[in-house]
Every structure is written in structure tokens, then in C-alpha cells.
Amino acid sequence: MEVPGKSHFNDIRLQLREAGVTQSLPTTIAVATDMLLIVDQVSGRCEFPLESFEALRNGFGGSSAAIAVRGSLTPLAALEARVPREFFPVASEDDLVRKLVAAYRDRVGFASGEGD
């Protein structure tokens, strides 16, 4: 029996490693799990391609919508300022995974082990 999201989870872990994000296994698993949950939420509520943050917000139901991040609901409005315009467009689930990995790598420092 296939575990839902398992292929994306493994893809995220591999991409983190290939991007040079060096962290402990528990931290890598936690980050990959967070990313998988984000991908699942976006895929379940939005249609690709996502041309802008506005398209993401609309897919979630408008300006008061929230997304589960790190175990709590975060208003999309609070995330909008932190998501660079270059993040969009997002062509597909796979593109979303690549962009989340790149954003995480840039945030914690390339190959630094920071964030552990």
C-alpha cells in the first residue's frame, strides 16, 4: 500500500540534500514534513499554475484565509510579505516543492547546517 505523499516527501528530502542543506536527520524530516503539508494544502485548494500570491489567497478562500504551518494556522496575509514576487508563477506541485526547498535553503544558509 502506497503511503499518501511518500514520493513527494522523499523528493523533498532528496532536494534538501542536493541543495546542500546539511542538518540532522530529525530536523530534515521535520522540514520535509512541513513542506509536504504545505504542498498538500495548496494542491488541495488551488489550481496550477499559480500566477501570483493573490491566486494562492483566492484558492484558500480570500483575505482572511489561513494555512497550517509548523502545527498552527498562519494567516496568509502574514505570509504574503515574506514570499518574494519571484516565487511566482508556480507551475505545478513539483515546481512548488523546488521553490519551497530553495526558499528554505536561502533562509537557513546554504550548506551551513544552521537551523539545526
111: left (phi over 0), alpha (psi -120 to 50) or beta: left
Most confident option among 34-38, 79-83, 90-94, 100-104: 90-94
Residues 48/92, Cβ–Cβ less than 8 Å: yes
What is the spatial distance between Cα 20 and Cα 9, in angstroms, rounded to a whole number?
A: 17
3-state secondary structure of 18: helix
Domain definitions of the chain by residue range: 6-108
The overall longest dimension of the chain from CA atoms, in Å, is: 40
Q: In this predicted model, what pLDDT tens digit does every residue of 33-79 receive, in sequence order? A: 788 888 999 999 999 999 999 999 999 999 899 999 888 899 999 88
What is the spatial distance between Cα 114 and Cα 80, in angstroms, rounded to a whole number?
A: 24
Task: Give the per-residue pLDDT at 108.
Answer: 63
Give percent of the chain with pLDDT exceeding 90: 34
What is the spatial distance between Cα 90 and Cα 69, in angstroms, rounded to a whole number?
A: 19
What is the spatial distance between Cα 7 and Cα 29, in angstroms, rounded to a whole number?
A: 14
Task: Give the per-residue pLDDT at 115.
Answer: 41
**Position 29 pLDDT exceeds 60:** yes
Q: What is the pTM of this model?
A: 0.73
